[in-house]
Amino acid sequence: MSKNEFATFAGGCFWCMVRPFDEEPGIVSVVSGYTGGDTADPSYEEVKQGTSGHREAVQIEFEPAVFSYEKLLTIYWQQVDPTDDGGQFFDRGSQYRTAIFYHSDDQKAEAEASREQLEKHGPFQKPIVTEILPAQAFYPAEEEHQKFYKKNPEAYQQERIDSGRERFIQETWNK
């Protein structure tokens, strides 16, 4: 029996990054949180203000025998604008920049290969700026931010529309 693994992705607003992964077979959990900074156990306000050094991110526990890391990467790339170094959509600042935080050398290699494929064959004219970084301490966000799409479906959908994420995904990937 294979053991579960973790994948950690920063893709701007973490509310919008949970649902695409959440109900896939082999996904054990998707947790909204903070990673990549130096502040221990940061609050939402500290991260949102950009004072913690952390990025909003999701950490996914998955069964690799059922749902591969490669599939997770494919979903990830289709949720973000990997050419935007200033944040994601209407969320601006380093706390909203994209990154893949790898948990093993295999994940690092797969993430780098997927980024290279996207650069060569993807729909983007500008360079891919998404960083691939070693996983660091991950701090789960406050409970009100967990599974936001289920707790506040109208606000969640409005966020995806108002931010421009929904339109970007449609225009970029659903041609």
pTM score: 0.95
pLDDT at 31 over 70: yes
Q: Is 16 a catalytic residue?
A: no
The residue-averaged pLDDT of 38-49 equals 94
The answer to whether residue 170 is domain-embedded is no
CA distance 61 to 65: 12
In a domain? residue 109:
yes
Place of tokens 């707790």: 151
- Per-residue pLDDT, 127: 96
Residue 175 in any domain: the answer is no
Q: How many domains does the chain have?
A: 1
pLDDT, the chain, mean: 95
- pLDDT, residue 175, reads 63
For residues 133-150, average pLDDT: 96
Range of the domain at 106: 5-165
- Is residue 92 situated within a structural domain? yes
Residue 65 in domain? yes
Per residue in 149-175, pLDDT tens?
A: 999 999 999 999 999 999 999 999 986
Report the 10 Å Cβ neighbour count for 174.
7
- Domain membership of residue 172 (yes or no) is no
Tell me whether residue 42 is in a domain.
Answer: yes
pLDDT band at 1 (very low <50, low <70, confident <90, very high): low
Does a structural domain hold residue 79? Answer: yes
Each residue's pLDDT tens digit, 97-138: 999 999 999 999 999 999 999 999 999 999 999 999 999 999
Q: Is the pLDDT of residue 17 over 80?
A: yes
Which residues lie below 8 Å from residue 45, measured CB to CB, with a gap of 6+? none
The CATH number covering residue 84 comes to 3.30.1060.10
Q: Pinpoint the alpha helices (H) of the chain.
A: 15-22, 44-49, 69-77, 105-121, 148-151, 153-163, 165-173
Angle at 27 (CA atoms; ends 59, 61), nearest 5 degrees: 35
Distance CA 96, CA 50 (A): 9
* Active-site option among 13, 57, 135, 141: 13
Portion of the chain with pLDDT greater than 90, in percent: 95
**Residue 23 pLDDT:** 86
Model pLDDT, residue 174: 80
